[in-house]
Amino acid sequence: MPIRLSNFFIQFMETDQLGRIATMHQQLADRKPEGTLHHECILLAEMASTAVDFSKTGIPVDPSCLPRSDKIRPDFMSGGPRVIVEKAGISFAEEGVQQDQDNDDINALDPDDKPYRYYESNRVLGKLYRAIDEREFLKDMQKKAQTHAEPRGEIDTLMKRLWDYVKRETLLIQWEHYGNLAREIRETYWHSNSSSIHIC
């Protein structure tokens, strides 16, 4: 019995494609004129349902049935406001196929090696994403934190409560000396992503 259970978990880890399916569904639904009614989106929705039910049914998703994907995503799937968004010039038809067929042995080991390219989505998720100015939102929160005070004299904002929670949960963890390293990694990540994406 324990051997069967361990085999089940190994198979689950090998065949777990839910995140990949969900990401591909978002990409295709935004890109195709039919949206979620496109035949590939319907296929991905069925595959997502199978992937979710795998722990109950034992039926895995067949990765060979996944549609071809590429490294081009709508702007609302980007990591933040520092990502360069291309306004025009992306050819969806050939670029994705070329990137998939271009896999050599090294790229096959690390499929996420190539940087993502982002375009401005004209659909509702893209419009909602661009309607929120992240920098302005954070500035506004910081301004309110400096001016707003409770009757007992303490600042009780979302940011302060969040920071208190982090400090409480990491009470015995020595992390302060990693602060500068974390900032360097973040800045390097944003800089490398921004410099590797070219505007058409």
- Give the residue among 51, 46, 43 at the shortest CA–CA distance from 14: 51
Which pLDDT score is estimated for 102? 39
In this predicted structure, the answer to whether residue 154 has a pLDDT above a threshold of 60 is no
Summarize pLDDT for 68-114 with one digit per residue, the tens: 888 889 988 887 766 778 775 565 544 443 344 334 444 444 555 56
Report the pLDDT averaged over residues 134-157.
Answer: 68
Summarize pLDDT for 28-75 with one digit per residue, the tens: 999 999 999 999 999 999 999 998 888 788 788 888 888 888 888 998
8 A C-beta contact, residue 40 and residue 28: yes
Q: Burial code of 56-89, b = ≥16 C-beta within 10 A, e = fewer?
A: eeeeebeeeebbebbbbbbbbbbeeeebebbeee
Which pLDDT score is estimated for 64? 86
Q: Which residue has the tokens 């042995």?
A: 105
Cα first-last separation, the chain:
58
Which pLDDT score is estimated for 104? 43
In this predicted structure, the answer to whether residue 150 has a pLDDT above a threshold of 70 is no
Summarize pLDDT for 110-143 with one digit per residue, the tens: 555 568 888 999 999 989 888 888 778 778 877 8
Which pLDDT score is estimated for 167? 84
Q: What 3-state DSSP class applies to 117?
A: strand
In angstroms, the CA 1 to CA 71 distance is 42
Question: Which are the contacts of 170, defined by CB distance < 8 A and separation ≥ 6?
Answer: none
Helix ranges (DSSP H) in the chain: 2-15, 18-31, 39-52, 54-57, 92-101, 105-109, 124-131, 134-147, 158-169, 179-196
Which pLDDT score is estimated for 96? 40
In this predicted structure, the answer to whether residue 178 has a pLDDT above a threshold of 70 is yes
Which pLDDT score is estimated for 114? 67
Reported pTM = 0.56
Which pLDDT score is estimated for 92? 55
- Give the residue among 151, 152, 155, 90 at the shortest CA–CA distance from 118: 90
Report the pLDDT averaged over residues 155-181.
Answer: 79
